[in-house]
Amino acid sequence: MIETGKYLLGAAGASGFGSKSTAEEVTENCDLRSITAVITGATSGIGAETARVLAKRGARLIFPARNVKAAEEAKERIVSEFPETEIVVMELDLSSIASVRNFVADFESLDLPLNLLINNAGKLAHEHAISEDGIEMTFATNYLGHFLLTNLLLKKMIQTAEETGVQGRIVNVTSGIHGWFTGDLIEYLRLISQPKCQFDATRAYALSKLANVLHTKELSSRLQKIEANVTVNCVHPGVVRTRLTRDREGLLTDLVFFLASKLVKTVPQAAATTCYVATNPRLVNVSGKYFTDCNETTPSGLGSNSSEATKLWAASEILVAQHSKASFDPCS
């Protein structure tokens, strides 16, 4: 009850910011003119506001997008507001392992540094679908594509940090809904990656968001072991109505958002935690943590489980390597 009251009032936490803080407010004193950032899902919603604010602070931006036309339009909107901004639009379908590998190869050919990776893109669909690699589409888009993208870009991020002395940062955008998932992650993924299954869209989404949290935990541990000057944290942006809900429009969705209207953030408020974790100097050397309302908090019990994080990482490595459309088997 106390936490709900703080949220509604927008009371500031230890960071000096709270639920009502905006992305512009949390980056007010940031100079990002030396920063190059890759932001997935930057064409609309939270990702678009995150990109706009980072551009305002001077960052060079890379927009990987499945819909290149939408990305070019997003670029035009930002450049019209901040003419000096450098933005590179590139093609990427996160649900496709081949597309992720192609994007990274194309990015590396640009010979640009990479200081910041924001894994923001997300999908919430009520219809069951399987990716070209044989993986349930929500999991493939929200987690597995980002897992591979991050792994393939790590060398560049570590190199950039070594050459510039500026600590690299990875931000995984998750959701408080990750705590709704219970059970065996790998077994449930196996079940929903079959062509015919009993599909619960909310549970599938919760699984993908839990995977983002576990990815953060395991990756942080691995980066610390190799003493890389790169951190990784995850954020819950809060409840906000964006294009993420486009496949779930209807009377029920409208009713839920009406009843929860006092809890729903504006897009600038929802982008604040991502921008805070991506830029704030207080977070140097802070890694493996979970943030909401611009303050560190605790994920679910399952999201805090190191053995589950390690198990998911091992399964993910197999999934991105097997390229099998015919069958799903993370244990083969």
What separation in angstroms does the CA of 107 have from each of 146, 245, 317?
15, 30, 22
Token pair 């509604």 is found at 8
Q: Please pick, among 7, 143, 188, 205, the residue that the annotation labels catalytic.
A: 205
Count of alpha carbons within 13 angstroms of residue 166, beta-carbon side: 18
| Interacting residues of 217 by C-beta distance below 8 A, sequence separation 6+ | 288, 303, 304, 306, 309
Q: Say how far apart CA 92 and CA 298 lie, in whole Å.
A: 32
How many residues comprise the chain? 332
Instruction: Establish whether 205 is a catalytic residue.
Output: yes
Centroid of chain to Cα 165? 25
For residue 248 the two structure tokens come to: 């779930």
Q: What are the residue numbers of the active site?
A: 205
